[in-house]
Structure 1
Amino acid sequence: MTSIKPITKKIINTPETCVDDNLRGVVAVYPQLQLHPKHRVITIRRQDDSMRVAILGGGGSGHEPFASGFIGSGMLDGAVAGGVFASPPTGHVLYGIAQLHKYNSGGVLVIIGNYTGDRLNFGKAIEKAKIAGIKVEGLIVGEDVASSKNKTGGRSMVGEVLFYKLCGAMALKGYDLETIRKTAVEANKNMATLGVCLSACSLPGQPPLFEISPDEMELGAGVHGEAGIAKVKMGTAKEIVKMLLAIIVGHLKLSRGDRVAVTVDNLGGTSFLEMNIISAETKDYLENHDITVERVYAGHLKTSLEMHGFQICLLLLNKEHGDLFLELLDAPTSAAAWTGGEISVRSDGGHVDDESLLKGDVRKEASGPSLSAKQQDLLRESLTSAAEVLIKSEALLNKLDSGCGDGDCGNTLKKFGHAILAYLKTASLEYVSNVLWDLSEIAETDMGGTSGGIYSLGLSAASQAFSIAASNSVPTWLSALESAIQAISKYGGAEPGDRTMLDTLHAVAETLKRCIEEELLAVLKKAAEAAERGAKATASMIARAGRASYVASGYTQQEDAGARAAALWLQAILCSIASKI
């Protein structure tokens, strides 16, 4: 008989309001910061143009003080918070970019943690900001050794905080956007992190995410409550530090005489006593190997709620850039979580959103081929069929997603289906480019999460392809599909063969290329068959990107949920069109 794990106690109001309550607490303690509550954005209070580059960070909540605790002169200019362990939506990130650009004409550098949801949502916001004329660049960072063999590179761990410090110091010194970005890229090449935990954390209102035996530890645990890459026996502080540093030093290929800056990060539930012992053992180990420890930073930097554990991050201060890195790390900052300071001074100013920033729509004018009344009816029927099949397939998709994800793929796509049906009641379908753009916005606002980011990016890219097309034809739809695949791959990091929805889309695109000159009915039938093959093929694939790539292969024996979902709505659309021919 399976025992039910108890829900962990937390001192909050409700799980639903804990993120917003946390942000209210940040500005209560540090009134010199400005809260934009509707968008979960916190910024430095400014009234004039700094004339320099602004640094924007952020990501899921639950990692406090990351990221709002690092807002201050010499570090971040602003941060955007998502739900607990969830990427913030594109609209909130875009608001943060626009808010910072309003007071920092040198541009905005957005630091993006190397997670699929963040890459997609932050990436979409950057692209939309560029369309709106904002000077902005993104920087995807990640230094986790445990996941370093992943196709998209290691996950972003506590090293992300160091990028806030390095980039923020450069911005304050007046460096331009491109120079700051290039310097940070060099730092990322010379940084590595590895962690261990003794107990799992739990999301508000839920039990612990995984179990660890009393005599074991999780090696390589992530900051989102993910289990590690291996269970190892519990040891002393000296033994644990030795195990971690041996791996990190080997990964960075450090040798005698090298200099490093060390960060020892508390994952949330580790005592000060333990952290001090860990820091001492870390310094001793490195110096015993003739590696010079120039700096040690320790404390709560990027946590995982109440997880009992820690991470060690090493930044190699190499001959080319080491002195500059050290200078930037030593530069003064008023960010509270780094040192504290003047931003703790009381302020009576309120917290309001500047609603004028996001009123403009980057896609206003109708463009591309228009549809006849009959064609509009067919498009409406096809989209209705696609939406309905997503709603009906909720349980199936949740089941497929439960082995390697959150088990909520069906829930997410059901929301999308209902939103599409509501949209179709009043929407004009005269211009396909506008319809696809509207669906992109719906995916962003109504779906949320990684799936929302993927669909939003793909649909917006397809919209762009249609906006410059000469006719509503199979070649145009193929071009739109290929544009969607390219956009999803660019920011999601996946390619066909990586066990994602791209496998379904790619199979259909390749089939359309081969049979594009055939009779339409035959083309539709073959495309539907290709969608089925593409989804089924994922059952035997090794996940190399996305969330499924972080778990053992034993959890990915069935079809990928995203690939099956794509097959379902594609087949619904294709069959709906075929029935009218």
Structure 2
Amino acid sequence: MASDKPVTNKLINSPETCVDDNLRGLVAANPQLHLHPQHRVVTVRSKINNGKVAVIGGGGSGHEPFAAGFVGAGMLDGAVAGGIFSSPPTGNVLYAITYLYKYNSGGVLVLIGNYTGDRLNFGKAIEKAKLAGVKVEGVIVGEDVASSHNKTGGRGMCAEVYLFKMCGALAAQGASLEEVRNLAVESSQCMATLGVCLSPCSLPGQPPLFEIAHGMMELGAGVHGEAGIAKVKLGTAKEVVSLILQKIVEHLKLTSGDRVTAMVNNLGATSILEMNIINKEIKDFLVNRQITLERIYSGHMKSSLEMHGFQICLLHLSAEHGEGWLRLLDTTTLVPSWPAYPLPDCDDAEGSIGDDDDLTQHSDAKGANGPSLSCSEQTLLRDSLCAAAEALAQNEALLNRLDSGCGDGDCGTTLKKFSLAILEYTKTASMEYPSNVLWDLSEVAERDMGGTSGGIYSLGLSAAAQAYGSAKTNDAASWLLALDSATRAISKYGGADPGDRTMLDSIHAAVVAFKEQLSCGVYSIARAAAQAAERGAAGTAGMTARAGRASYVSSAYTTDEDAGARGAAIWLQAIFNYISKEI
């Protein structure tokens, strides 16, 4: 019966050609590789017999970069690709073995994932090659914790990539076939993998293979698109990593004082941000258990098309072999898919984290103090800031709505963060020197708003602080200088001008009105500036965006007011209206 679920979109030419197109693209980007297209075999380029042992990996496609992406000096000598999630046929595996033996008379080691199809097809190819006089051995790898109870052992997961690296490095050093094979057997017994997925993958031209309810995840998901052994409620990164590592630690019988390396396998669609958080949680978990984490290898190893999830594989560095294995992992390789670089020359494992507190102690010097305020003027400044902050907080939903069509819908939320921080600041801060207050607010914007908006407001407020600090008296002209300086700084560094449909349209309109009413008294200035800010924000509706985030989208999304301009108008009006009522 045909599935009623829609086919997943993919950037391919066709389901029938995607495997071959993938291999051709890999070789196009890596000219040190050679593709044998009729057999779907990728090898290193070689024209002479180097006498060493060749290492081969392979299996179904859809796991990229596994395995062809790990072909290169110091890792695999060749890889055989099958169809999507399908074992390659015996003939293609046999071709890879015999071809590589031609240039590697030391023999051939074949690493085989513990799946029925791979065991049969790779195994048959090995036996045929032996009958033909080829010196070849195979090692089956199956370290999956979730399926470890099976009669044939656990499935082969990303631990194969560990073996690609270690066996490839040992073979490059001139070790014998027996030595390389023994390394694979011994080290694979010290590895364990377990993972989760949050969303399934889909084969090219097919709908998703299964469904996961919102807020749930599959524990023990495989790399062939299969679901896991249990549906578990999705937790925080810390909780999920703890769940996985607890089972791995128990499986490997790790105890305090043991040493490990960790491989974090991106199953396809997990963001780098998530992967980095997972890395951090792995380290924290192991530190708390007093298990030494020597290395983390994080990235796409053996993926499952676009599956959103990850696996963790721990390699227990045994007392007998651990140092040697670590040296093999640290050996330089030219394979770009291997996510490790030469280690820095440092002894302190924690030395890569920490701030230079001496810098921050000297980097927060404020601008010139400038004119000071009387007690009543300080109260007016404090209350004006509170009025502006409260107005912004009350208009969070409006600003988010205005931002949703041409931005990321968080303008109101971002300005509310700023407003709440201002309200907290005004509870204890001194208002005696406005230049210092403006400087403090620029720091608040940078710290509590963040992003582009925080940068813009911080820049404008710091410019205003510098300008007011150079003033001689506390009068309207000094405040106009501060507001005008803020406008100029935002325009200079933000790249926008009045008329570009940004917050400057509101602020610039207020500055112009301020200048025109400068000789008419504070009440007239405040009323005119508030009305001008309103006109400036309203005028952005339908205006062509020439700067800011709105300039990146179709004009169909900019028919309403600009969120930034409306936000600026809200706080400008709140300040000027409050002043006009109090004087």
- Taking structure 2 as the reference length, the TM-score comes to 0.58
SS at match of 1:225: coil
Aligned to 2:303: 303
Partner of 2:157: 157
What residue identity is the alignment partner of 2:233?
A: K
Mapped contact 1:167–1:180 kept (Cα < 8 A):
yes
Partner of 2:216: 216
- Contact 2:57–2:78, Cα closer than 8 Å, also in 1: yes
Q: Deviations over 1:63-95 (max 9, x none)?
A: 000001101111000000000000000000000
Deviation at 1:3, TM superposition (A): 7.8
Give the Å deviation of 1:192. 0.2
Instruction: Sort the Cα spacing of 1:87 and 1:3 in 2 relative to 1 into closer, same or farther, 3 A.
Output: closer
Offset of 1:31 from its aligned partner? 0.9
Give the distance between the partners of 1:3 and 1:316, measured in 2 at CA: 44
- Note the alpha carbon deviations across 1:436-489, whole angstroms, 9 max, x for none: xxxxxxxxxxxxxxxxxxxxxxxxxxxxxxxxxxxxxxxxxxxxxxxxxxxxxx
SS of the aligned residue for 2:88 comes to coil
In structure 1, how many angstroms separate the alpha carbons of the residues matched to 2:270 and 2:237? 12
Counterparts of residues 467-486 of structure 1 (less than 5 Å): none
> In the TM superposition, what is the alpha-carbon distance from 1:340 to its structure 2 partner?
9.2
Tell me what 2:250 maps to. 250
Count the aligned residue pairs.
341
**Alignment-derived partner of residue 489 in structure 1:** none
Q: Report the alpha carbon displacement of residue 281 of structure 1 after superposing the two structures with TM.
A: 0.3
8 Å contact kept, 1:72–1:333: yes
SS of 1:143's equivalent?
coil
Q: CA deviation at 1:335?
A: 1.2
CA contact (8 A) 2:6 2:207 kept: yes
Identity %: 69
What is the alpha-carbon distance in structure 2 between the residues aligned to residue 75 and residue 121 of structure 1? 23
Report matched runs for 1:497-576 at 5 Å: none
> 1:20 corresponds to which residue?
20
1:13-43, Cα deviation, whole Å (9 max, x unpaired): 0000000000000000001100000000000
Counterpart code for 2:35: L
Partner of 1:312: 312
How many angstroms apart in 1 are the aligned matches of 2:41 and 2:124? 17
The one-letter amino acid of 1:250's match is E
Larger relative contact order (CA 8 Å, sep ≥ 6): 1
> What amino acid sits opposite 1:310 in the alignment?
F
Q: Is the 8 A contact 1:56 1:79 kept in 2?
A: yes
Does 2:68 match 1:68? yes
Q: Give the unaligned 5+ runs of structure 1.
A: 342-581
SS in 2 for 1:54: strand
Aligned letter for 2:88? Answer: P
**Correspondence list, 1:305-454, <5 A:** 305-338=305-338
| Distance in 2 (alpha carbons) for counterparts of 1:340 and 1:236 | 27
After TM superposition, where is structure 1 displaced by more than 6 Å over at least 4 residues in a row? Answer: none
Partner of residue 177, structure 2 = 177
Q: Deviations over 1:504-545 (max 9, x none)?
A: xxxxxxxxxxxxxxxxxxxxxxxxxxxxxxxxxxxxxxxxxx
| CA contact 1:333–1:339 (8 Å) conserved in 2 | no
- State how far apart, in whole Å, the 1-side matches of 2:188 and 2:42 are: 26
CA distance in 2: counterparts of 1:104 and 1:3, whole angstroms = 49
Partner of 2:452: none
Q: Provide the C-alpha distance between the structure 1 equivalents of 2:86 and 2:7, rounded to a whole number of angstroms.
A: 20
Aligned 1:92-131 pairs, distance under 5 A: 92-131=92-131
- Partner AA of 1:202 in structure 2: S
In 2 relative to 1, CA 340–20 (structure 1 residues): closer, same or farther, beyond 3 Å?
A: farther
Cα distance in 2, alignment partners of residues 8 and 157 from structure 1: 25
- Whole-angstrom CA distance in 1 between matches of 2:215 and 2:340: 38
Map of 1:39 onto structure 2: 39
The answer to whether the 8 A contact 2:64-2:301 is kept is yes
**How far is 1:336 from its partner?**
1.9
Contact map agreement 2:297 2:339 (CA 8 A) in 1? no
Q: Which residue of 1 aligns with 2:359?
A: none
C-alpha distance in 1, partners of 2:340/2:264?
19
RMSD: 1.4
Deviations 1:116-162 (CA, angstroms, capped at 9, x unpaired): 00000000000000011110000101100000000111100010100
Deviation at 1:339, TM superposition (A): 5.1
Give SS of 1:156's match: coil
Equivalents in 1 of 2:187, 2:257: separation in Å? 19
TM superposition shift of 1:189:
1.0
Q: Which residue of 1 aligns with 2:530?
A: none
Counterparts of 2:222 and 2:109 in 1: how far apart (Å)? 25
- The change in CA–CA distance for 1:340 and 1:102 in structure 2 (over 3 A counts) is farther
Conserved? CA contact 2:264–2:296, under 8 Å? yes
Distance in 2, Cα, partners of 1:339 & 1:152:
31
Verify the 8 A CA contact 2:93 2:125 in the aligned structure 1.
Answer: yes
TM-score normalised by length of structure 1: 0.58
The Cα shift of 1:2 comes to: 11
